[in-house]
Amino acid sequence: MDITMIIVAGIVGVALGFFIARIMEKKNASKILANAKREAASIVKEATTEGESIKKDKIFQAKEKFLELKAEHEKVIVAKDKKIAEVEKRTRDKEAQVTGELSRNKKLNEELEVKLKDYEYRMEILDKKQTEVEKLHKSQVKQLEIISGLPAEEAKSQLIESLRADAKSDAMSYVQNTLEEAKLTAQQEAKKVIINTIQRIGTEEAIENCVSVFNLESDDIKGRIIGREGRNIRALESATGVEIIVDDTPEAIILSCFDSVRREIARLSLHKLVTDGRIHPARIEEVVQKTTKQIEEEIIEVGKRTVIDLGIHGLHPELIKMVGRMKYRSSYGQNLLQHSREVAKLCGVMAAELGLNPKLAKRAGLLHDIGKVPESETEMPHAILGMEWAEKYGEKPDVCNAIGAHHDEVEMKSLIAPIVQVCDAISGARPGARRQVLDSYIQRLKDLEDIAFAFHGVKKAYAIQAGRELRVIVESEKVSDDKAAELSFEISQKIQTDMTYPGQVKVTVIRETRSVNIAK
C-alpha cells in the first residue's frame, strides 16, 4: 500500500509539475511575443526613418549629379559653339583671302595680256631687224670677199687655224707655268727627303759575274780533278750542274753557271776534295751532298742575320729562306741581297721622314725582290710572284701591294708602295750599282736623240749625263719661244710613251738668236 501510494503520489506530482510548467511556459511565451512585437514595431519604425533619410540622400545625390551633368553639357556646348565660331572666322578669312587672290590674279592676267601684246610687237620688230641684219651681213661678206679676194669659207678656216694656234700656245704657256709653279715647292721637298735618305745610308757596291775562279796550288791537281777519261769532272758537273772549264790558265779552274748557289756549291766541294786529296765519283757525290746541305743551312742563317740586322720580326721561315737565297742572286750585276738590304734601309729612313711606319716600309723593301729567287723557272713577273708568296705566308696587305706594285704591275693602294718603288730606283740607279751592256746603253742614247730629231725645227740633239738629260737645240727662225716650251713638253711625252728607262729624263730645249754684222 505504501509503495502504491508513493507511486500514485509521484505520478500526481509529475502531472502537477507538468501542468504548472505548461502554465509557466505559456505565460513566458506571451511575454516574449509581446516583447517581439514591441521590438518589431521599433525596428519597423527605425527602418522607416532610415529609409526616408536614404531616400532624401539619394534624391539629393541625384540632383547634384544632374547639376554636374548639366554643367558639363553646357561646357561641351560652349566649346562646340566656340569651335564653330572659329571655323566660321577661318572660313570668312579664307573667303576674304580667296577674294584678294582672285583680284590679284585678275590684275596679273591683265598685266600679262599687256606684256604679251608688247612681246608680240617687239618680236615683230626683232624679226624685221634680224632680216635687215642678215641682208647687211651678206652684203658685207660679199664686199669682204671682193676686197680680200678669198671666199668666206676659206677666210673662216684661216681665222680658225690662227685662233687655234694662239689658243694652243696660250694653253701650253699656262700648263708650263702651272707645272713650274707646282714643282717649286713639291720638287724641293721631294729632293730634301730623298737627299736626307741617301745621305743617311752607306752601302758597299757589289758586282758579281756568272763565273767563279777556283785557284789551285799547282797545275798537277788539274789532272786529278779531270780524272781518268774525264770521269771525275763529269761526275762533278753532273752533281752540281756547273760547267767546269779547265784550260791553259795557270793554277786556276773556271766555274761557269748562272745560278750562284750551284756555283758556290761546286767551289766549296772542289775545295774540300782538293784539301782531302781523295777525288773519285763516289767521293764527289758524297761531298756535294754535304756541301749542298751546308749551303742550305748557311742560306737560312744569312736570312736570319739579315732580318735581325734590319729589326724585322715575325717573318715566315720560308720568307727568311728566300731572303738568304738572295745572297747568291744578282740583278744587272748587283748582288740581290745587298740591293734588298739597301732598299729596306732607304725605305725605313724615307718612311720616317714622311711620318709613316718605318718597320713596315723596311719589311716591304726587304721582300720586294723575293720573286727573283724561285727554285724553278716561271714566266710570271717577279713582282707578281713575290706578291703571291707574301700573301701566301701571311704578310700584311700593304706589304703585299708594295711588292706587287714596285714595277707598276698592279695598282698602288698604300703610301708604302711608291716609297718602295722610289727606293728601288735609287738603289739601282746610283753610279756603279749595276752593270749594263754597252750596246744597249748606246742604243738608248741614240733612241733619245732620234726622238728629238723627229720634231720639226730641231737642229741638234745631245743625250748627256748617261741618258738622264736630253738637250735639244732648235732653229730660232722656225721655232718661237712659245713653241720651244711646247716642243719640250711634246718631246718629254714622246719619250715617256715610247721608251723604257730607269729614273727620269730631263728635256732641255735651247733656242738662240744671233745677229751678226761686219764693220768694214
Candidates 517, 449, 509; CA nearest to 476 is 509
Question: Cα–Cα distance between 279 and 223 in angstroms, integer?
Answer: 11
CB atoms within 10 A of CB 362: 24
Q: How confident is the model at residue 65 (pLDDT cuts 50, 70, 90)?
A: confident
Q: Residue 128: which residues within 8 A CB-CB, separation 6 or more? A: none
d(CA 247, CA 243): 13
Convert 466-476 to b/e letters by CB count within 10 Å (16 or more is b).
ebeebbbbbeb
pTM: predicted TM-score of the whole model, two decimal places? 0.47
**If you average pLDDT over residues 312-336, what whole number do you get?**
82
Top CATH class of 329-429 equals mainly alpha
Neighbour-count burial of 46, counting CB atoms closer than 10 A to its CB (0-12 exposed, 13-18 middle, 19+ buried): exposed
Percent of the chain with pLDDT over 90: 2
What's the topology of domain 437-511?
Answer: Alpha-Beta Plaits (3.30.70)
| Whether the predicted pLDDT of 506 surpasses 50 | yes
pLDDT of residue 124: 87
C-alpha closest to that of 276 among 291, 298, 255, 261: 291
Note the pLDDT tens digit of each residue in 407-441.
Answer: 888 888 888 888 988 888 887 766 555 655 556 77
Grid cell in block for residue 192: 730634301
| Helix or strand holding residue 515 (H, E) | none
Mean pLDDT value across the chain: 80
Instruction: Give pLDDT, residue 435.
Output: 56
Domain boundaries, the chain: 211-296, 329-429, 437-511
**Grid coordinates of 479:** 721655232
Least confident of 117-126, 244-253, 389-398: 244-253
Q: How far apart are CA 197 and CA 349, in angstroms?
A: 6
Q: Evaluate if residue 96 carries a pLDDT over 80.
A: yes
Specify the pLDDT at position 439: 61
- Confidence class of residue 206 from pLDDT cuts 50, 70 and 90? very low
Rounded to a whole number, what is the distance in angstroms from the first to the last CA of the chain? 219
CATH architecture of residue range(s) 211-296:
2-Layer Sandwich (3.30)
pLDDT, mean of residues 240-267 = 76
Q: 212 forms bridges with which residues in the sheet?
A: 255
Q: Which residue is associated with the grid cell 737642229?
A: 459
Residue with cell 533619410: 53
